[in-house]
Structure 1
Amino acid sequence: MSEKCRVAIVGTGGIAGAHAGAVAALAERAELVGAVDVDLDRAKEFAARWNIPATYSTLTELLATGQVDLVHLCTPPSTHVPLATECLAADVDVYLEKPPTLSLDEFDALIAAEEKSAARIACVFQHRFGSGAVRLRELLADGVLGRPLVALCNTVWYRDDEYFAAPWRGTFDVEGGGPTMGHGIHQYDLMLSILGPWQKVTALAARQARPTQTEDVSMALVTFENGAVASIVNSLVSARQTSQLRFDCENATVELEHLYGYQNADWTITPAPGHEAVEAAWSADLLDVPSGHTAQLTAILDAKAAGEPTPVSLSEARNTLELAAAIYASAFTDKPIHRGDLAPGTPYATRMGGPGAPWSA
């Protein structure tokens, strides 16, 4: 590998700009060497904007050059598995946009492909990497906050009917699901990175207002192996948009409110009576690293340089995707789902929506 990590962006639509910006912010460590899009004119326009020297209409052409170390895969979700598998076969690492796959079975197929490769996949869950989330995990691990008891996770956003005019949006077969898969997944992934493995979920989902095959609202009650309990709300019909997380621990309440990304100022900490020292522990030497693709890419490059496992690995991300599948399974069967219930080949492992949402009939 060259001194700088050679990065290519595959899929030059809306989210690709965030990826290019992250590479540009780390120019001393990484460089953009290629852009790929089935629409070559769009790839060329993107390349001109970000000073990328080469464009391709297929991933195969890019990989054939042998001049790339890391592919940022920014294509629609239905293409993730075949394209990521092609990268793995060429022993090229992947930074994979969310949702990583359309189903749990697809995700497990990706894990199997990775096991045969020297390359590794990192899933885009960038909210784990802001300094506030890092500090929260540290204080929980050190026992400063005591046990986590109760958590709230709300992704309440607004998308109008026009947003769903794109034929792949609001579908299980192409997008993978509604706000549970495509929007709230970032917030509850952050919650899971803090609270660890979940145990059981009871959920409901509804199509309240939007012209979709999927839900536009879901709600879930979740229990965790460590004894914590949490509620999760994912919505696309909420006029005042916000993303909220709250963790009530034995010694303090820690809260985060933002929209699409956070900084330290978006966090608040309220010590329980007698535990005022927690506030000083929170703020001590705390850097202000915003959440985002740059923060996660920094962690990926650090791991590559040190020969350590990539963050967030497929094995880590599976906990998140299994919860998404379980929310749909519980909502559509009206039954609680335990982690591990969704065996390979069963309806909600094969497809997030299983046989279909109740309203699809």
Structure 2
Amino acid sequence: MSQRSYRSAIVGTGGIATAHAQAVAGSGGRARLVAAVDVDLGRAETFAATWQVPRTFTTLTELLREERVDLVHLCTPPLLHAPLALECLEAGVTVLVEKPPTLSLAELDALAEAESRSTAHMATVFQHRFGPGAARLRRMLAGGELGRPLVATCLTQWYRGDAYFEVPWRGTWASEGGGPTMGHGIHQFDLLFSVLGPWREVSGLAVRQARDTETEDVSMAMVTFESGAVASVVNSVLSPRETSVLRFDFERATVELEHLYGYTDADWSVTPAPGCEDVTKRWSAEGRSADSSGHHGQLAAVLDALDRDEAPPVTLADARVTMEFVAALYASAFTGERITRGQVGPGSPFARRMDGTGAPWEGTDG
């Protein structure tokens, strides 16, 4: 398999763009940044100077017209993800989009249709799937070494004060698509789904407790999976002791991960069931990796797929499982119904907007 050097561009040079630039710089020459795009040209030029990027533009349209690129890293606010990703697909350029990939299921499905007509692909940044611990866990589960999955918990308990929401696009349905369910916890429950597989039903709660936002600041869900496993999911931006926790209880062991914004092997632990001590030995057999769950792992997987002329991970079909869960959680929270997978169809208001029929606190002051 031959390895190319992919001409890459970053669109949107705010905070998360640094993680993408670091991943490209650490790719060993497999990718190189040839352009940076930002509506604020001065910010683009500062970013370009930091990362030795030769060209800057103020629009994606200019970039695609004037520069040949193989891969666009889309790091803009969520409102712009769908239209800019569509522009890339229509130009035949593969695009790697930060989470959430779109503001709605309808937008995601429109991009899937556009991808079917394009020679290019769209992938979503869910980098926690690519850490070594998650890969090991999926291998051991698939190999039957852990037994059946039974119970799981998924906690994203972070803290974001009022100043965080002073950024105009944060905390609104129209520009961010949701609260901590869309913008914070999505990484953890996406990793949950990558391990446990398709979910079947969700019963959700979303409330606005303390932040002056349009969206929720806390959400919870009880989830059942096609495998029969059950899980609880909590997403919060009100938690002073911040943590990100995943716990999987299998027949033969409990596997736990506790970290904050990214993990290494040191953040995982395994507790075998009585008589199943071989699970711990198997987990440790590969040795402890120093690699983290940062963007570099997913970028490497994306480049591997492009080398093979395959759709890079995480595909739109993969991302849809996670995004449909978000829509179902909001639908359940705002209607009081349990929502099954597939129930939020094209005609549903929750497919068009994550707040669907409207948040219950809409129009109130508190």
Q: TM-score, normalised by structure 2?
A: 0.97
Cα distance in 2 between the residues matched to 1:58 and 1:112 = 24
Cα distance in 2 between the residues matched to 1:164 and 1:328 = 21
SS at match of 1:299: helix
Kindly provide the amino acid, as one letter, of the partner of residue 279 in structure 1: T
2:293 aligned with 1:272:
no
Query: CA contact under 8 A between 2:3 and 2:307: conserved in structure 1?
Result: no
Give the gaps of 5 or more residues in structure 2: none
Q: TM-score, normalised by structure 1?
A: 0.98
> 1:288, CA displacement in angstroms?
3.5
Cα distance in 1 between the residues matched to 2:301 and 2:213 = 37
Matches within 5 A, 1:236-315: 236-286=237-287, 287-315=289-317
1:2/1:145 CA distance change after superposition, 3 Å:
closer
SS at match of 1:153: strand
Cα distance in 1 between the residues matched to 2:169 and 2:17 = 18
The match for 1:141 is: 142
Cα distance in 2 between the residues matched to 1:255 and 1:247 = 6
Cα distance in 2 between the residues matched to 1:227 and 1:166 = 41
> 1:352, CA displacement in angstroms?
0.2
> 1:82, CA displacement in angstroms?
0.9
The match for 2:172 is: 171
Aligned length: 361
Cα distance in 1 between the residues matched to 2:242 and 2:96 = 28
SS at match of 1:360: coil
The match for 2:323 is: 321
SS at match of 2:361: helix
> 1:66, CA displacement in angstroms?
4.5
The match for 2:151 is: 150
Matches within 5 A, 1:67-86: 67-86=68-87
| Structure 1 stretch displaced more, 304-313 or 261-270 | 304-313
Cα distance in 2 between the residues matched to 1:143 and 1:6 = 41
Cα distance in 1 between the residues matched to 2:279 and 2:3 = 45
Cα distance in 1 between the residues matched to 2:84 and 2:28 = 26
Task: Determine what percentage of the aligned residue pairs are the same residue.
Answer: 64
Cα distance in 1 between the residues matched to 2:29 and 2:111 = 31
What is the CA deviation profile of residues 138-191 of structure 1, one whole-angstrom value per residue up to 9, with x for unaligned ones? 000000000100000000000001111112111111000000000000000000
SS at match of 1:329: helix
The match for 2:21 is: 20
Kindly provide the amino acid, as one letter, of the partner of residue 291 in structure 1: S
Cα distance in 2 between the residues matched to 1:280 and 1:28 = 37
Cα distance in 2 between the residues matched to 1:306 and 1:282 = 30
> 1:2, CA displacement in angstroms?
9.4
The match for 2:184 is: 183
| Structure 1 stretch displaced more, 229-238 or 23-32 | 23-32
Cα distance in 1 between the residues matched to 2:119 and 2:65 = 17
SS at match of 1:274: coil
What is the CA deviation profile of residues 182-216 of structure 1, one whole-angstrom value per residue up to 9, with x for unaligned ones? 00000000000001100000011111100111100
The match for 2:209 is: 208
Query: CA contact under 8 A between 1:44 and 1:55: conserved in structure 2?
Result: yes
The match for 2:333 is: 331
Cα distance in 1 between the residues matched to 2:3 and 2:11 = 20
Cα distance in 2 between the residues matched to 1:307 and 1:61 = 27
Query: CA contact under 8 A between 2:3 and 2:30: conserved in structure 1?
Result: no
Alignment counterpart, residue 352 of structure 1, candidates 351, 354, 362: 354
Cα distance in 1 between the residues matched to 2:10 and 2:106 = 26
| Structure 1 stretch displaced more, 59-68 or 325-334 | 59-68
Query: CA contact under 8 A between 1:105 and 1:345: conserved in structure 2?
Result: no
Kindly provide the amino acid, as one letter, of the partner of residue 165 in structure 1: E
Query: CA contact under 8 A between 2:148 and 2:251: conserved in structure 1?
Result: yes
> 1:28, CA displacement in angstroms?
1.9
Query: CA contact under 8 A between 2:4 and 2:307: conserved in structure 1?
Result: no
Cα distance in 2 between the residues matched to 1:86 and 1:115 = 14
> 1:289, CA displacement in angstroms?
2.3
| Structure 1 stretch displaced more, 2-11 or 334-343 | 2-11
